[in-house]
Structure 1
Amino acid sequence: MDINTFLFSLILLIFLGRALGLLFVKYKFQSLIGEVMGGIILSPLALGLIVPSDILRLFAQFGIIMIMLLSGLLTDFKAFSEHKYKSTLIGVLGVSVSMTLISSILLMLGISLEASLFIGVILSNTAVEVCANILMKSKSSKEIQAIIMGASFVDDIVAVFLIGVVGSITLGNNITILSLLILSIGVALFILIFLWIVPYFLEKYSVIDKLIGSGPKREKVLLTFTILFALLLGLVAQYVGLQAVIGAYIGGLIIGKWGTKVGPMLRRRVAYEDLVDDLEPFSHALFTPIFFGYVGLTLGEVLSKFGMTFEMGILVFLLTLGALAGKFIGCGLGARLSHLDKKQSGFIGIAMGGRGALELVLLSIGYEKGIINGPLFASVVLVTLLTVIITPILLSLYEKRIMASP
């Protein structure tokens, strides 16, 4: 691909993805649905104006890292700390039940153990961004919202660990009890070191505070540090068996955790908000339409090759049902065990049903690495998009008919 073709492809992906994304936002849905649809329209399935290529894939992968960095920055540690026991129980049960249910459905349909585990882990994760978006429009109490956001945080950490273990196994490593134990320890140590030990030393020696600078024209040293830090953690993550996107996400979590602590004269909070303000516009305007547009291109290419068969339709239906039911049962059970009433437990179980960016990122990696084939990739992308559409609709109906009833 020459530079002219590359630039033309970027123009089309950004323009159409952004336009459709904004249209979906107008009607209270996630913009990623429109951005994926933009890629499908431009793909060989429809207009055939863009074909997935190595250079576009690499550009999209850098976009993924920036998206996951921002996602980590915006994850709410405070929500977790306020209701950590309830959130932990809800998050862990939500992941466990969802993974078991989805993997079982795939195994019963004759899908290989490796692919079933990989998809089961991916679809066991709740999208923090989907939760945050639907709760903004919800009339639920602040306590319930804090519990849901905290549970989403726990959900992410548990899913990250499982994705690291299962992802490494499915990439063809020899599976023995010893290798599985070593891998699990390596992933656990990575998460422990970078989520608790590194933040402790950064806080103790005020490392990040020294990068803030002063004055209205201060250099963006903190921004440079944050991007380099995320890239470094992405590289380290690759070496321990995780994916670079997980490292970038944890890098964002570390900086986000630093930003939520009270500093002298609110300098820390102001610097953190400036950092998010610097990264967020680029994410929405550039990185997300390119990455999700590339997912749409890949999906369109796969569908043009294999078509949408009856078997794929059944798989999409069953997985969507399993994905929503797994969270409803698992998170709802966790809420009941946390002494919340039936209505609140049902609300939490539905609210945790949406999947999103991380799932599409990992699916793309799994498809590129050969863990899942084309029809499976297409089916699970469609399931992810359906949960993003269905979850806010179900929650709205539940609020009006169940929560509002005496």
Structure 2
Amino acid sequence: MLILELAIILLASKLAGDLSVRLRQPAVLGKLLIGILLGPAVLGVIKGTDILEEISQIGVILLMFIAGLETDVDEFKRTGKASSYVGIAGIVLPFGMGYLTGMLLGMPVFEAIFLGLLLSATSVSISVQALKEMGKLKSREGTTILGAAVIDDVLVIIILAFVMSFVGGDVNLGMILVKKVAFFAVALLAGWKIVPWVLRKFAPLRVSETVISAALIICFLFAYMAEYAGVAAIIGAYLAGVAISMTDYKHEVTEKIETIGYAVFVPVFFTTIGIKVDFTGISSQLALIAGLSVLAVATKLLGSAFGARVAGFGWRSALGIGAAMVSRGEVALIIAAIGQEAELLTQDMFAVIVIVVLITTIVTPPMMKLFFAEKKESRS
């Protein structure tokens, strides 16, 4: 059954992506929507299974690995200040407004704080694909977005650990911080010294595609270490890509990893997001979903755009950067699952959050297209 599902997903995602481009929208939008159509929410052709979820996870890891491979390290260094402004401002406004909204809804203090934290999350895996399609991934804006996403992820996870230390009772905040600092220290050291050495040692082995295998090993190990340290696996994969981008094997790895990723795993990731959607029992929550969706989009868009504007970007570029930070993606879903387990989210609110996360994900590509299109067209 899995083989047939993969065939259907690949066929549908490619056709939907092409149709989306013909309608002057990013291909990723079509892939997200076709997942909703194929999944249990509409046609029920594809069922969300654990193995499909695992393939999807490989897809997002490879997508962020490719983003790392295509990162201009010198530009990344130059945009560090801008990334900090975008990442921090993109947390402060959603967090504050989310907390106030929670209090207005009658939530207890910690539940309101948790709602603010949920709205502060960012996952740029969708934005990365949209940036690639628009030729903006290596631009100053694209590099700022990727840097801001790393900062956003780290800060949100630290705040989450702080909150859980109060409500969970058994969370060691100090140890959590030590693990995160240790991960980044080890990742940077490994990227500088170990990654080039591993690739050089693998290159002369008398078996096929040794360099690509070595690159995948590095990618998966970095992703695993990140997840073990409490940082999202996609951050580890991105850092692995950046490390390899500074070696002589960058172009060989990029070309072949893109072939592997975009042929199978990445389309499954995009389509699976839509497949996860479940509209059961949400009819009574439509007003809440609409309100939280508007709040989620507006606060992240305006907060991140303000940070970009302070960093010296023009308003159009700043809004494009803000739009790229809107998608909450798998990071928010992971946080929501933690909140549900800790009884900071009711089952009904969890279902609402899942729909809100999906909406932020779907609206991100067309918003980016709107703000970035003019610049791209002027170069064409």
Common fold, TM-score beyond 0.5? yes
Residue 306 (1) aligns with residue 275 (2): no
| CA-CA distance at 1:349 after TM superposition | 0.8
Partner residue, 1:285:
263
Give the superposition deviation at 1:132.
Answer: 4.8
Residue 78 in structure 1 maps to residue 67 in structure 2:
no
Mapping 1:79-118, distance limit 5 Å = 79-81=75-77, 84=78, 87-110=79-102, 112-118=112-118
Asked whether the equivalents of residues 300 and 325 of structure 2 are also in contact (C-alpha less than 8 Å), the reply is no
The answer for the alignment partner of 1:236 in structure 2 is 225
The residue aligned with 2:317 is: 348
**Could you tell me which of 165, 179, 193 is aligned with 1:201?**
193
Q: Which residue of 2 is the match for residue 296 of structure 1?
A: 274
Partner of 2:301: 324
Cα pair 1:165 1:241 within 8 Å, conserved: no
- 1:280 is displaced (CA, Å) by 0.7
2:183 is the counterpart of 1:190: yes
Q: Following superposition of structure 1 onto structure 2, how do residues 259-278 of structure 1 map, counting pairs within 5 Å?
A: 259=247, 268=248, 271-278=249-256
Consecutive unaligned residues in structure 1, runs of 5 or more:
138-144, 260-267, 336-343
Amino acid at match of 2:184: I
The answer for the alignment partner of 1:340 in structure 2 is: none
Superposition map of 1:218-229 within 5 A: 219-229=208-218
Shift in alpha-carbon separation, 1:202–1:55, aligned structure 2, 3 A: closer
Amino acid at match of 2:264: L
Cα separation, 1, equivalents of 2:319 and 2:58? 33
TM-score in terms of structure 2 length:
0.82
CA shift, 1:223, in A, is 0.8
The CA RMSD measured in Å over matched residues stands at 3.3
Q: Quick one: which amino acid aligns to residue 327 of structure 1?
A: S
Q: Is the 8 A contact 2:94 2:120 kept in 1?
A: yes
- The answer to whether the Cα contact below 8 Å between 2:69 and 2:244 also exists between their aligned partners in 1 is yes
Corresponding residue of 1:262: none
On the 8 A contact 2:126/2:327 being kept in 1, the answer is no
Cα deviation, residue 326, structure 1: 1.2
TM-score (norm 1): 0.77
- Contact 1:118 1:167 survives alignment (8 Å): no
Structure 1 residues 177 and 100, CA gap change in structure 2 (3 angstroms): farther
The answer to whether the 8 A contact 1:355-1:384 is kept is no
SS of 1:108's equivalent in the other structure is helix
- The corresponding residue for 1:390 is 367
Partner of residue 39 from structure 2, selected from 30, 39, 43: 43
Alpha-carbon offset, residue 120 of structure 1: 0.4
Corresponding residue for 1:252? 241
Q: How far, CA to CA, are the matches of 1:170 and 1:287 in structure 2?
A: 35
Q: What SS does structure 1 have at the residue aligned with 2:44?
A: coil
Q: What displacement does 1:119 show?
A: 3.1
- The partner residue of 2:355 within 378, 381, 390 is 378
In structure 2, what is the Cα distance between the partners aligned to 1:68 and 1:330?
Answer: 23
Q: Deviations over 1:89-118 (max 9, x none)?
A: 221111111111112222222163224213
Which amino acid letter does the alignment assign opposite residue 147 of structure 2?
Answer: V
**CA distance in 1 between partners of 2:352 and 2:23 (Å):** 30
- Within the candidate set 116, 139, 148, 1:155 is matched to 148
Structure 2 gap ranges (5+): 103-110
Read off the aligned partner of 1:66 and give its amino acid letter. Answer: L
Rounded to whole Å, the distance in 2 between the matches of 1:345 and 1:357 is 19
Q: Deviations over 1:181-211 (max 9, x none)?
A: 332232122113212x2233237x7442343
Distance 2:336 2:170 in 1: 27
Change in 2 beyond 3 A, CA 1:170/1:230: farther
